């Protein structure tokens, strides 16, 4: 028999993936900004970091 997810089960699955991914991405961006400041690179601004892609 096929189990159909309820909306709450689906929401829990999505949040279980999204929340850890958000924190990992946030930590990575903080590390990039810290490193750029430490190495005295052109500008530690997050907008410039993201604009280089």
The conformational region for residue 40 under phi > 0 = left, psi -120 to 50 = alpha, else beta, is left
Backbone angles phi, psi at 38, to 5 degrees: -60, -45
Any domain includes 2: no
Backbone angles phi, psi at 5, to 5 degrees: -75, 145
Any domain includes 27: yes
Domain limits for position 38: 7-51
How many domains does one find in the chain? Answer: 1
Any domain includes 13: yes
pLDDT in tens, 1-53: 667 778 888 878 888 888 999 999 999 989 888 887 787 766 656 676 676 55
Any domain includes 37: yes
Any domain includes 17: yes
Residue 49 burial by Cβ neighbours in a 10 Å radius (0-12, 13-18, 19+): middle
What's this model's pTM, rounded to 2 decimal places?
0.56
């Amino acid at each position: 028999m096929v189990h159909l997810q309820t909306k709450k089960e689906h929401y829990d699955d999505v949040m279980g993936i999204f929340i850890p991914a958000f924190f990992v991405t946030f930590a990575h961006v903080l590390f990039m900004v810290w490193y750029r400041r430490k190495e005295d690179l052109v500008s530690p601004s997050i907008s410039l970091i993201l604009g280089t892609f």
